[in-house]
Homo-oligomer: A and B are copies of this chain.
Amino acid sequence: MVTMLEVTDVTAKGAACCAPLVKEPLGQADAEQLATTLKALADPARLRLLSIVASSDGQEACVCDLTEPIGLSQPTVSHHLKVLTEAGFLTRSKRGTWAYYRLVPESLDQVSALLVTAQSGA
């Protein structure tokens, strides 16, 4: 089976698009952008992969350590990692044989900030 460690040089779309949901109604373009970002998260395998990377030392993990805990094939895992990378949640770097994925914490924090309703000092 072909390994699918594609070079991901797609420009990260990022998650920041708009004011928090409780502040003002979202326009259509902002809503579409945020929905795309949330769809990248809204998959059990991707959430599990993201949480493994996010909770790893240095918030980075080798793809070689991501297949076994998820119980999916390497091509499937690589596909999910590509979706997360294109959505801006992970960055990918190749070192030697393996690809390493690192969390982009700002991307999760941006989504979190758009959803939160509790005013912390605001």
Contact = CB atoms under 8 A, between A and B. Distances in A.
Interface of A: 21-28, 31-32, 34-35, 38-39, 41-48, 50-52, 54-55, 59, 69, 103, 105, 108-109, 111-113, 115-118, 120
A108 B103 contact: no
Given A22-B54, A35-B44, A39-B39, 11 more contacts: A21-B50, A22-B108, A31-B45, A31-B47, A35-B41, A42-B42, A54-B117, A108-B116, A109-B115, A109-B118, A112-B112
20 contacts: A21-B47, A21-B54, A22-B59, A25-B52, A25-B69, A26-B47, A28-B48, A31-B45, A32-B44, A35-B42, A38-B41, A38-B42, A42-B42, A105-B117, A108-B116, A108-B117, A109-B118, A112-B113, A112-B115, A112-B117
User: Which applies to chain A's interface (DSSP): helix, strand, loop or mixed?
Assistant: helix
